[in-house]
Amino acid sequence: MSASSLCSYNYEDYKHTADWLLGQTDIRPKVAIICGSGLGGLANLLEKKIAIPYKSIPNFPQSTVEGHAGQLVFGELKGKQCVCMQGRFHFYEGYNTATATYPVRVFFLLGVETLIVTNAAGGINPHFKVGDIMLIKDHINFPGFAGQNPLCGHNDDRFGVRFPCMSDAYDKDLAQLTRQIAKEQGCDSLFHHGVYCMLAGPTFETVAECKMLHLLGADAVGMSTVPEVVVARHCGLRVLGLSLITNAVVSDYDSERRAVHEEVLETTRMRTEELQSLVRSVVEKM
């Protein structure tokens, strides 16, 4: 049985991967960036970079989704040593949540202190437009409600406590800094903050589901991010979350609009420059 198909990992598995990576580069990252669908260009911001394909990394799963390159990129961003994931892992690819979040604990063992997560999301809030950027202030973890939580099973105190708090999942200081930078860069008109809801996917949402999520207070919906944030907070990492609104959800039965992945990728291409500039400045000033 391959490592990626196991239900859980032990401390030695994570440490083996981290030690192997430390042997491949002199970069000692303090910031990790997880790039969402079509947002892998964020890694191009790095200088002195070295790219390591996931297939070469011990115990690492493989990314199978279009728009996810499938490699770790180490380098420097505005003088800060960073690592970028070009391609994340999803529940809908057949991975359990422990496998999908495997890299986050590896980052912790590499010495990472701050995790920046980006994603492509469907806009539920009627005031959001396609191409807007949402600062994640909170999340709704629907797979977690169904028992699919990456912290299920044995707890290793070397990573974190048995019952971690999630009411402060997203760092308020980083959020304030990001809002300030968005205003300085003149993109505050397309910048919002809101609640991200994770569903398992891979299907886009039905009209009834979109109506329900709106009633529950969700502003955007996607198929990733939340398990990574849960594991990051368990490890004590600071978290900044950014959603690029790549499509408007269909909430009207008479609508002719359909959610398609091609629209997601096209919107990310349209807004890549603004998001990259935002992340670059946040890392510089944090």
Which residues are catalytic, by number? 37, 68, 90, 92-93, 120, 223-224, 247, 261
Query: In the 8-state DSSP scheme, what is residue 167?
Result: T
**Long-range contacts (CB closer than 8 Å, 24 or more residues apart) made by 249-256:** 249/122, 249/123, 249/124, 249/204, 249/205, 249/210, 249/213, 249/221, 250/204, 250/205, 250/207, 250/210, 251/124, 251/207, 251/210, 251/211, 251/214, 252/207, 253/207
Cβ atoms within 10 A of the Cβ of 8, count?
13
Rg (CA), the chain: 18
Measured CA to CA in angstroms, residue 121 lies from 17, 51, 128, 169, 195 at distances of 30, 27, 11, 19, 11
**Residue (of 131, 150, 181) closest to 284 by Cα position:** 181
Collapsing DSSP states into helix, strand and coil, what is residue 92?
A: helix
Partnered with residue 85 across adjacent β-strands are 34, 72
Cα separation, 82 vs 144, in Å, equals 29
Answer positive or negative: Cα dihedral of 81, 52, 67, 119: negative
**Residue (of 69, 82, 85) closest to 283 by Cα position:** 82
